[in-house]
Amino acid sequence: MRKMTFVRTARCVPVFALVALFLRPSMAAFAQGDEMAFTSYYFSDSGLNKVITTSFNIAKKLLEQTSVLIDIELDHVTVPPVTAVTGATRPQRQKNEPFEKSRGQVIVGVEQGLSDTWTVSGNYYRSQEIDYVSSAVVGTISKDFFNKNTTLTVRGQYNADRVGKILESGEVVNSPKHVFTGAASLSQVLSKTTVLDLTYDLMVMKGTLSDPYRQVSVINDAGSTVVVDEYHPSKRWRHAWTGRISQFIPTIRASLIGSFRYYTDTWHVHSNTSELKFNKYIINDLIFSLDYRYYSQTGASFYKTRYVGSNYAADGYRTADYKLKPFASNNFGLSLTLMLRAFAHNSPDLEFLENSSIGIDYYRYFNTLDFSADILQASIKFSI
């Protein structure tokens, strides 16, 4: 069994401290409801993949019912050398050396309250790296009913992407991809301690839907093995229905959250996801959580364990994407979250920690594709 260990650590505590000291004199400019955060983390795994991410976001209330959002994120990714024909998503160019690339992301948005019960928002998203560019517009409208015990939210999004491939010469060849997303969700307060959430998601994808770097081995009519790029259909409709119920248990200061999601698409992939999470206050500002998720899916209609026939080396659909295989997975997790508001209560100088927290998470993941992983994550949320 292949086993990989993932470690994601937040390397931002000293930075947060410096940012906080710098901003303390000007914190009066932030009103209630304003938020600002800075995060930096490092991710690596036993496969020598590495990601370094730094992000900054701010949500500023301009008027009584008007807020603006700015989010900036920078990533640096390192992918190890190619040792065989795999489903790895990296170029073959200089395949005996690590492949490195950077990505920049910017989100700008505005949220406007139309009344005490109506809210609309709009966002523009731009993400760019050497071999992938994505631009998107997002619109959301939300309405409260029955003394705000019921909330209906509708969201629409359009992405115009350019899927690039770096050739051996270093030239980048781009192909278009368009994604239309719609979602409707209903949140209903059932009692003082119980909330029900129902969501429907629709996604329509057109254009280049295969990864330009993944390659597939095909046995042709002559019995020889040839290696070709994977090739997926150019259209895909995806549907998902999710139900979640959250129950607070006052007597033990805990909550229990259960959810179920059913997914289907026009590639004949069907999946079921069941998840159960338990949260418990150990002391006033320390929360312990247990989490379990079970996932199962069928394979895509064109997925095969072996592709035999010259038609698959020509224009036949073929894939090396593990997410299109039939499989099932289990994910167990536990975490500790320390709310830093305890320090804010004891010292007025640390008031900026009122909405901040530190978390440590561990997950054990394994699936029927002979893959397992231990995931350790440490994070800090800093906001004012």
Mean pLDDT, residues 2-15: 41
Q: How far apart are CA 189 and CA 166, in angstroms?
A: 51
Is residue 300 scored above 90 in pLDDT? yes
Is residue 43 scored above 80 in pLDDT? no
What does the pLDDT read at residue 19?
A: 45
CATH of the domain at 251: 2.40.160.40
Tell me the three-class secondary structure of 363-374, residue by residue: EEEEECCCEEEE
DSSP H helical ranges for the chain: 13-23, 310-313, 341-346
Mean pLDDT, residues 87-93: 58
Q: Which amino acid is at 122?
A: G
What does the pLDDT read at residue 156?
A: 98
Angle at 284 between CA 253 and CA 251, to 5 degrees: 15
Mean pLDDT, residues 356-378: 85
Q: How confident is the model at residue 11 (pLDDT cuts 50, 70, 90)?
A: very low
Q: What total number of domains does the chain contain?
A: 1
Mean pLDDT, residues 177-192: 98
Whole-number Cα distances in Å, 322 to 132, 150, 280, 337, 367:
21, 39, 36, 33, 11
Mean pLDDT, residues 321-335: 96
368 φ, ψ to 5°? -85, 5
- 3-state secondary structure at position 193: coil
Across the chain, what does the average pLDDT equal?
Answer: 86
Q: How far is C-alpha 170 from the geometric centre of its chain's CA atoms?
A: 30
What does the pLDDT read at residue 96?
A: 67
Q: Which amino acid is at 343?
A: F
Q: How confident is the model at residue 94 (pLDDT cuts 50, 70, 90)?
A: low
What's the pLDDT tens digit per position in 104-114? 999 999 999 99
Q: How confident is the model at residue 82 (pLDDT cuts 50, 70, 90)?
A: low
345 φ, ψ to 5°? -65, -30
Structural domain that includes position 62: 2-381
> How does DSSP classify residue 381?
E
Q: Which amino acid is at 381?
A: K
CA-nearest of 59, 171, 28 to 123 is 59
Whole-number Cα distances in Å, 229 to 83, 183, 319, 323, 363:
17, 33, 8, 17, 34
Q: How far apart are CA 209 and CA 71, in angstroms?
A: 27
230 neighbors 320 (Cβ within 8 angstroms)? yes
* Residue-by-residue DSSP string for 199-229: EEEEEEEEE--S-TT-EEEEE-TTS-EEEEE
What does the pLDDT read at residue 101?
A: 84
Q: How far apart are CA 240 and CA 159, in angstroms?
A: 19
344 φ, ψ to 5°? -65, -35
Two structure tokens written together for 340:
């830093």
Please give the model's pTM, rounded to 2 decimal places. 0.85
Worst-scoring range by mean pLDDT, 2-11, 20-29, 148-157? 2-11
What does the pLDDT read at residue 92?
A: 62
When comparing pLDDT for 199 and 51, which is higher? 199
Is residue 86 scored above 70 in pLDDT? no
Mean pLDDT, residues 275-283: 96
When comparing pLDDT for 234 and 54, which is higher? 234
> How does DSSP classify residue 90?
S
When comparing pLDDT for 98 and 238, which is higher? 238
Q: How far apart are CA 139 and CA 157, in angstroms?
A: 6
Whole-number Cα distances in Å, 164 to 67, 74, 197:
35, 19, 38
Two structure tokens written together for 135:
């631009």
CA-nearest of 352, 297, 306, 303 to 326 is 297
With a CB cutoff of 8 Å and minimum separation 6, the contacts of 307 are 216, 217, 218, 219, 316, 318
CA-nearest of 80, 105, 107, 114 to 94 is 80
What does the pLDDT read at residue 89?
A: 64
Percent of the chain with pLDDT over 90: 63
What's the pLDDT tens digit per position in 219-264? 999 999 999 999 999 999 999 999 999 999 999 999 999 999 999 9
Q: Which amino acid is at 333?
A: G
360 neighbors 336 (Cβ within 8 angstroms)? yes
When comparing pLDDT for 185 and 97, which is higher? 185
